[in-house]
Structure 1
Amino acid sequence: MLQLNGCAAGSSSLRLAKDIAENNRGARVLVACVELTIVAFRGPEEDYLHTLVGQASFGDGAGAVIVGADAGVHYPAERPLFEMVSASQTVVPGTDHVLTMRITEAGLDGHILRRELVPVAAENVERCLSDAFGQLGVGVEWNDLFWTVHPGLRAILDHIDKALRLEPGKLAASRTVLREYGNMLGATIIFVLDEQRRRMEEDGEGGEWGVMMGFGPGFTIETMVLHATSNLRKK
């Protein structure tokens, strides 16, 4: 059970499921990510007026993924979609105040310092990506990747686009989910993965290597290198 991981919960749970599956022969791990922000809805209180902003910014959502290793060996009927090649977690020093979640006498509470959060995310993304692909010995151009990024704020996506000099449409899966569903905290990344799957299966969007990124309290950046299976790549 992972709680109070905020927007990074979905990425964190997939990282944990990867470890469990790879260390337990034949295991299949069900990841269920449920975010019910409605349970935190309440009227304004004198010391917690800022919670109204959070209640208006986040929505409810739920998603599930089955994670396993040695696909097709134990269960021949399986049809794997994305291979999670490597996963890492980075906590940016001196940023624990930028994004917080806690339980208070008024219920679930948290702070988002947007003016600090947006540049912190954009400034550290390239370093996380370079470390992840460098450890694998894989040389890639950022525009050759497919992208599944947690769309916490539109401004974060805009700044990542600019920082990595991405071509238009590279973050389309994230932008589509944010536009249609909003920020559903940890569950959002599963929606983005599904949207990226749809784009590759139905629209023929290409890409062999990709990356998944989640952001959460800390300030924490979850980075996962993905590899599209032949079930997704156009032949």
Structure 2
Amino acid sequence: MASSSLAEIRRSERADGPAAVLAIGTANPPNCVSQEDFPDYYFRVTKSEHLTHLKQKLKTMCQMTDTEKRFFHHTEELLHAHPHFLDRGQPSLDDRLGIAAAAAPELAASAAAKAIAKWGRPATDVTHLILSTSSCAGAPGADLRLASLLGLRPSVIRTMLQLNGCAAGSASLRLAKDIAENNRGARVLVACVELTIVAFRGPEEDYPHTLVGQASFGDGAGAVIVGADPVPVERPLFEIVSASQTVVPGTDHVLTMRLTEAGLDGHILKRELVPIGAENIERCLADAFGQLGVAVDVEWNDLFWAVHPGLRAILDNIDRALRLEPGKLAASRTVLREYGNMMGATVIFVLDEQRRRMEEDGEGGEWGVMMGFGPGFTIETMVLHATTNLKKNE
């Protein structure tokens, strides 16, 4: 074939416009525990009430999170049936992954079904599926089960992202943007689901970071439909203008994850972790907007924000670093308060809360930023443009 023909083929394969968020759905398991009650609940179910000094430490941690409640797939009955989950010294990975393999696709399907219903097109119109989770490991995996539950076509193109931690939601949307813009007519279903059963264990004297995770993380699933060149039935919400990733050198030790015989494990060095995002955020933002040729003209307070709220202190530091006006990170703080940290799914909840504030409450802002943070230490930065569909309902 002539080179000119190849160029024409390539142009025909690409979308004309930018990828956009077309619909969002979220879901949580039914078991809800208030943050105030969590220390008593945790030390009761782990049979550790004699460790009074650790219980007081957990109470203090829970009070500092600004979280009011969290949702969990696991119940007291499930934990009582698997006492080996509480002890790091006992192998439990197979049983944990078995529970997650059954439950995670179901929860992801609940969120995805909501997104598809809002999208307004049949599930069979989904061309690509991205499933991100740190809770499952196996093949055929949770992505295939999710596709079956939703009734997606056998030809749907599936991609799994695993162990991306809290950056997974932003990373999945970055990948979805590339797929949608380089495959004309593509409609990408992004689903992020996390279950803390893979990491639940009892308090440990030698592993103080265990309490940080137990005080912070909850279960949830978020789903987004992404596509370019919308058809009349579709209602774009946010156009994804750019997406980038930065790794902060010398920080790969502050947040780690790995699958072990005792389940999902890792380190959260909170004192080192908290300031990293704030110390590097302006550089990431300047780079992101600089690529668009508008860096010098951007006032951070003119933007809307969808930031992964890993810890309250991270948000506080970002507020100070960017000199943000009160309420600019309200969507992130609301999700942290109502759900806790659901790792990769959290930023989808934040984006949906920001949508609600703009669509229902009339909150303004044409340009905005989504940010995710994860192991590495990795910062995902996405520039968003709000469409005219995000107007207060009259």
TM-score after normalising by structure 1: 0.93
Shift of 1:103: 1.3
Deviations 1:99-155 (A, max 9, x none): 111112221011111111111110000000000001101241000000000000000
Paired residue secondary structure (2:389): coil
Separation in structure 2 between the aligned mates of residue 46 and residue 179 of structure 1, nearest angstrom: 28
Could you tell me whether the CA contact under 8 Å between 1:208 and 1:233 is conserved in 2?
A: no
Give the aligned length.
230
Q: CA distance change for structure 1 residues 161 and 3 in 2, over 3 Å: closer, same or farther?
A: same
Higher relative CO (Cα under 8 Å, sequence separation at least 6) belongs to 1
Could you tell me whether the CA contact under 8 Å between 1:38 and 1:59 is conserved in 2?
A: no
Paired residue secondary structure (1:206): coil
Structure 1 equivalent of residue 197 of structure 2: 38
More helix by share: 2
Return 135-144 or 180-189, whichever deviates more.
Answer: 135-144
Q: Return the index of the structure with the highest Cα Rg.
A: 2
Q: CA distance change for structure 1 residues 125 and 49 in 2, over 3 Å: closer, same or farther?
A: closer
Deviations 1:10-33 (A, max 9, x none): 000000111111111100000011
Deviations 1:72-110 (A, max 9, x none): xxxx21000000000000000000001111112221011
Gapped runs of 5+ residues in structure 1? 71-75
Structure 2 equivalent of residue 167 of structure 1: 325
Q: CA distance change for structure 1 residues 107 and 166 in 2, over 3 Å: closer, same or farther?
A: same
- Percentage of pairs with the same residue: 92
More strand by share: 1
Which of 106, 113, 135 is the aligned partner of 2:291?
A: 135
Shift of 1:38: 2.2
Paired residue secondary structure (2:192): strand
Shift of 1:45: 6.5
Could you tell me whether the CA contact under 8 Å between 2:186 and 2:227 is conserved in 1?
A: yes
Separation in structure 2 between the aligned mates of residue 163 and residue 50 of structure 1, nearest angstrom: 26
Could you tell me whether the CA contact under 8 Å between 2:209 and 2:269 is conserved in 1?
A: no
Runs of 4 or more off by more than 6 Å in structure 1?
Answer: none
Could you tell me whether the CA contact under 8 Å between 1:207 and 1:228 is conserved in 2?
A: yes
Note the aligned Cα RMSD (angstroms): 1.6
Could you tell me whether the CA contact under 8 Å between 1:207 and 1:233 is conserved in 2?
A: no
Could you tell me whether the CA contact under 8 Å between 1:121 and 1:156 is conserved in 2?
A: yes
Separation in structure 1 between the aligned mates of residue 208 and residue 263 of structure 2, nearest angstrom: 13
Paired residue secondary structure (1:111): coil
Return 213-222 or 139-148, whichever deviates more.
Answer: 139-148
Shift of 1:39: 3.1
Separation in structure 1 between the aligned mates of residue 264 and residue 369 of structure 2, nearest angstrom: 31
